[in-house]
């Protein structure tokens, strides 16, 4: 039997983190598109890892439970990497809320029921959650602790209160941060830790969709005018995940790490600040 790493979202960030932390473990590589999961599994297996591709839908509790059950065939669940999600240019409001918001809440809850003592997890959020206006303590608490199956009934998440897909994405990512804080308390009772990472623009196929989408010029301008002056690589996100998931991060849980090359700083206090 081996310790098991569950990975959702067979993309570049997920693979970079799995390569950094998944050696010696059984890795279940889940994605809604089984071809994507199979492709990433092939690359990793040919590099000496032990990866099983698995078809899973983040918006379905039953699908998440099936993935956990698959992992438990090989050993205890020791690590979670959640890199699944859809972007504002890829999906309508309803899909963004169902996958990025509801699905992440379900995943953190279900894995939190079985994570082994000493286990760790990271979920990939986004800089977008840091740039929307504050929602207030009451709404933050609702996003943090409302039972997942009741989340999409909250007033703040009704479509008539959501301006567009970017706003839906921002709400989902703000919810991710709050859920991580809430779930960290429950994971802690099992001796486990959970954190989130909020990347800026990372060069991945999803980012390329954004560059070619309706907000492409906005995103290109963002990394051109951020202090770093460039987008990130997936491995730079994995650098932080490695800290969070290793013993060096043993005192870090319930936290969110903004890794955006200073884009959010520039948005509030620099050349990316919106014109009023």
Q: Which residues are catalytic?
A: 169, 173
Strand ranges across the sheet with 120-124: 50-55, 26-31, 4-8, 77-82, 120-124, 193-199, 256-259
Count how many residues are written for the chain. 276
Both tokens assigned to 41: 């599994």
CA distances from 209 to 1, 17, 108, 172 (A): 40, 22, 27, 19
Burial environment of residue 181 by CB neighbours within 10 A (0 to 12, 13 to 18, 19 or more): buried
CA nearest to 178, candidates 150, 238, 136, 216: 136
Residues 185-199 as b/e (b if ≥16 CB within 10 A, e otherwise) read eebeeeebbbbbbbb
Check: CB of residue 261 under 8 Å from CB of residue 228.
Answer: yes
C-alpha–C-alpha distance, residues 56 and 67, integer Å: 7
């Amino acid at each position: 039997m081996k310790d098991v790493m569950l990975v959702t979202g067979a993309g570049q960030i997920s693979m970079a983190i799995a390569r950094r932390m998944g050696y010696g473990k059984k890795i279940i590589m889940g994605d809604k598109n089984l071809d994507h999961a199979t492709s990433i599994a092939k690359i990793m297996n040919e590099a000496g890892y032990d990866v099983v591709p698995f078809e899973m839908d983040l918006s379905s509790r039953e699908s998440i439970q099936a993935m956990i059950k698959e992992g438990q065939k090989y050993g205890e669940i020791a690590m979670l990497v959640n890199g699944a999600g859809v972007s504002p240019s890829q999906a309508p409001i309803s899909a963004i809320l169902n996958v990025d918001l509801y699905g992440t809440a379900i995943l953190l809850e279900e894995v939190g029921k079985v994570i082994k003592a000493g286990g760790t997890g990271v979920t990939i959020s986004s800089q977008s959650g840091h740039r929307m206006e504050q929602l207030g303590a009451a709404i933050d608490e609702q996003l943090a602790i409302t039972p997942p199956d009741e989340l999409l009934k909250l007033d703040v998440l009704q479509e008539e209160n959501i301006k567009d897909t970017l706003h839906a994405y921002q709400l989902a990512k703000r919810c991710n941060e709050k859920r991580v804080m809430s779930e960290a308390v429950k994971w802690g009772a099992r001796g486990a830790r959970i954190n989130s990472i909020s990347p800026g623009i990372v060069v991945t196929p999803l980012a390329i969709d954004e560059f070619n989408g309706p907000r492409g010029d906005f995103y290109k301008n963002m990394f051109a005018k951020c202090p770093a002056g460039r987008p990130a690589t997936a491995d730079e996100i994995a650098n932080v995940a490695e800290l969070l998931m290793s013993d060096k991060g043993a005192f870090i849980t319930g936290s969110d790490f903004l890794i955006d090359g200073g884009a959010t700083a520039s948005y509030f206090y620099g050349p990316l600040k919106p014109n009023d």
